[in-house]
Amino acid sequence: MSSSDERVVAVIMVGGPTKGTRFRPLSLDIPKPLFPLAGQPMVHHPISACKKIPNLTQIYLVGFYEEREFALYVSSISNELKVSVRYLREDKPHGSAGGLFYFRDLIMEDNPSHIFLLNCDVCCSFPLPEMLAAHRAYGGMGTILVIKVSAESASQFGELVADPDTNELLHYTEKPETFVSDQINCGVYVFTPEIFTAIQDVSSQRKERANLRRISSFEALQSPTRSLLTDYVRLDQDILSPLAGKKQLYTYETMDFWEQIKTPGISLKCSGLYLAQFQFTSPHLLAAGDGSKSATIEGDVYIHPSAKVHPTAKIGPNVSISANARIGPGARLKKCIILDNVEVMENAVVINSIVGWKSSIGRWSRVQAEGDYNAKLGVTILGEGVTVEDEVVVINSIVLPYKTLDVSVQDEIIL
């Protein structure tokens, strides 16, 4: 088949409000996929990566958030990227494979030759065209993006073993207790439409088993919820594990960065990774300045055009400043995310922190953390509308929305 008559669709799983609780307090005010990293909504990064796939016809966001939460974003990104982006709402969580299957008719509408499936909560360079080329060469049903990580951290993810010569997936196991492999599943896949048959098989086998049980077991009668699970299909345990070693699934290894965006702390790291990537993909988004007419900029910094930053401030590295934020004279921002409508007053310092929407940081105050992205309090998080009064110091703390801090705090969660 020549690539010119191929059609490709991309599906990005965005989850729902009952997911992403580890992302609190930031996910209290906004769906996690819309939380900005490097000044762009989290989901923007996989979307703009999809835009680079040849013959892409459609991007679907699949999740169980309310339609209205994505309506505005979906219409503006469609306009911006000149590609159709639609939000599809699941009636309930179906799992990543189940979600894909639930919308199979829509996804197959244009008769695509390939379907990309991406999880929204991963941060990586999304080398999608390269993956697609590799997938074609392998000739399998699916290709999984994988990365090598340290042996200690591998067990938090799906560990997999691939043939070193053919790259065929030989073995897959989700979050094993013992070490299996240092290669892990990145949560980015490309499939041929046969994937729907594979999901269908899992689903119908489940139904048969459930029916058998219902007939044979009194216990099953007591527990009718069991049948509800038949359309919940996980991609990893239910599809990847059984199909490993059957010459249907292959791997494509990325040498770039990869993170799972589990917590606000990790999101600060990911924001920095995406800012660094802008040097190659979108240099026009990075700020510059030497303190003469505009603020002194160090390293990779994103400043929204509507934000006002005083020329005597010093910003960076790894800072993103969202819309309508005001950064006062002599302020210092380093390794932080400043959300919409935040005010940072003169001589204040913000380091290793995320400052929530409409928060106010007083004069000579200091919002800081040690910057251990994996620690519970390694990044200071201020929720929406938090006020830090003049000269107050907030260190290694999480502050829930609409609190006023008039005394210094350290290593605390402020409810």
353 near another protein, rule: CB under 8 A: no
* Nearest to another protein of 176, 311 (CB atom): 311
* Nearest to another protein of 146, 369 (CB atom): 369
Of 167, 322, 396, 397, which one interacts with another protein (CB under 8 A)? 396
Residues 323 and 337 sit within 8 Å (Cβ to Cβ): no
Q: What is the DSSP string of 386-403?
A: -EE-TT-EEES-EE-TT-
Structure tokens at 205: 């086998």
Burial of 21 (0-12, 13-18, 19+ CB in 10 A): exposed
- Report, in Å, the least distance between residue 398 CB and another protein: 16
Residues 377 and 388 sit within 8 Å (Cβ to Cβ): no
370 near another protein, rule: CB under 8 A: yes
- Report, in Å, the least distance between residue 94 CB and another protein: 46
- Report, in Å, the least distance between residue 147 CB and another protein: 31
Cα(247)–Cα(357) distance, integer angstroms: 49
* Nearest to another protein of 94, 314 (CB atom): 314
Cα(127)–Cα(112) distance, integer angstroms: 20
> Of 117, 126, 131, which Cα lies nearest the Cα of 46?
126
Cα(251)–Cα(404) distance, integer angstroms: 50
Tell me phi and psi for residue 205, to 5 degrees.
-60, -40
Tell me phi and psi for residue 73, to 5 degrees.
-65, -45
Percent of the chain as helix, strand, coil, to the nearest 5: 30, 30, 40
* Nearest to another protein of 139, 311 (CB atom): 311
Cα(113)–Cα(108) distance, integer angstroms: 9
What letter would DSSP give residue 346?
T
Site for another protein in 285-324 (CB under 8 A): 312, 314
Of 19, 45, 135, 334, which one interacts with another protein (CB under 8 A)? 334
What residues pair up with 8 in beta bridges, in sequence order? 56, 114
349 near another protein, rule: CB under 8 A: yes
Residues 38 and 271 sit within 8 Å (Cβ to Cβ): yes
Of 113, 364, 385, 401, which one interacts with another protein (CB under 8 A)? 364
Of 173, 248, 347, 397, which one interacts with another protein (CB under 8 A)? 347
Of 220, 323, 393, 400, which one interacts with another protein (CB under 8 A)? 393
Of 79, 281, 410, 413, which one interacts with another protein (CB under 8 A)? 410
- Report, in Å, the least distance between residue 265 CB and another protein: 17
Q: Return the beta strands (E) in 262-385 as ranges.
A: 296-297, 301-303, 308-309, 314-315, 319-321, 326-327, 332-338, 343-344, 349-355, 360-361, 366-368, 380-382
Of 132, 144, 366, 384, which one interacts with another protein (CB under 8 A)? 366
- Report, in Å, the least distance between residue 298 CB and another protein: 11
Only segment of 38-46, 116-124, 234-242, 341-349 that touches another protein (CB under 8 A):
341-349
Of 7, 86, 89, 363, which one interacts with another protein (CB under 8 A)? 363
Site for another protein in 172-191 (CB under 8 A): none
330 near another protein, rule: CB under 8 A: yes
Using CB under 8 A as the binding criterion, the count of chain residues that bind another protein stands at 20
Residues 59 and 47 sit within 8 Å (Cβ to Cβ): yes
* Nearest to another protein of 257, 364 (CB atom): 364
391 near another protein, rule: CB under 8 A: yes
Of 209, 329, 402, 406, which one interacts with another protein (CB under 8 A)? 329
Cα(148)–Cα(58) distance, integer angstroms: 31
Of 174, 201, 253, 346, which one interacts with another protein (CB under 8 A)? 346
- Report, in Å, the least distance between residue 357 CB and another protein: 24
Only segment of 23-31, 48-56, 226-234, 365-373 that touches another protein (CB under 8 A):
365-373
Q: Site residues (CB under 8 A) for another protein? A: 312, 314, 329-330, 332, 334, 346-347, 349, 351, 363-364, 366, 368, 370, 391, 393, 395-396, 410
